[in-house]
Amino acid sequence: MLRKQLRKHVYADQSPRNEYANFLLEFDTWWEAAAEWARIKEVSSNDIFCDAKRQAICKPLIYEHINEIISDAELQELAWIIVQHMDGDAAFQKWFLSYLPIGSTCYQYLFDRIAVNAGCPQQFGTQYVE
């Protein structure tokens, strides 16, 4: 059940991002593309991938099942994909990071994302920064 729920939310997370990757090629800047994407998709320009809605559903789910998530490689990666896009909740990202195996790919990406969002240098060089 948990696996199925997380897969559903990861699909909802990744599907528009994959579509957007091609859409982005038509614009000079990310900001222009985001504004047009928001207009076309009729979503907030501050949350073009609707992460806030997913966060409200997934955060309690991840809290409740953290031990199961961390003990299963697939669940860990599924949860990480969702958590990495919770940029508005650095405390939750840090909490989740504390459960990830240090040195794992998920750890490296989330560590750097938290650092970049806090205006700090990356340790692993995983985040694209303009």
Per-residue pLDDT of the chain (130 residues; tens, 9 = 90+): 999 999 999 999 999 999 999 999 999 998 899 999 999 999 998 899 989 989 999 999 999 999 999 999 999 999 999 999 999 999 999 999 999 999 899 999 999 999 999 999 999 999 987 6
Q: What is the pLDDT, as a whole number, of residue 111?
A: 97
Q: What is the pLDDT, as a whole number, of residue 124?
A: 96
Q: What is the pLDDT, as a whole number, of residue 33?
A: 93
Tell me whether residue 60 is in a domain.
yes
Tell me whether residue 85 is in a domain.
yes
Print the domain residue range for 16.
2-117
Tell me whether residue 126 is in a domain.
no
Tell me whether residue 129 is in a domain.
no
SS3 content of the chain, % helix, strand, coil (to 5): 65, 0, 35
Q: What is the pLDDT, as a whole number, of residue 129?
A: 77
Q: What is the pLDDT, as a whole number, of residue 128?
A: 85
Ramachandran sector of residue 37 (left: φ over 0; alpha: ψ -120 to 50; beta: rest): alpha
Tell me whether residue 130 is in a domain.
no
CA 73, 77, 81: angle at the middle one, nearest 5? 170
Number of domains in the chain: 1
Q: What is the pLDDT, as a whole number, of residue 45?
A: 87
Tell me whether residue 124 is in a domain.
no
Dihedral pair phi/psi, residue 78, rounded to 5°: -60, -45
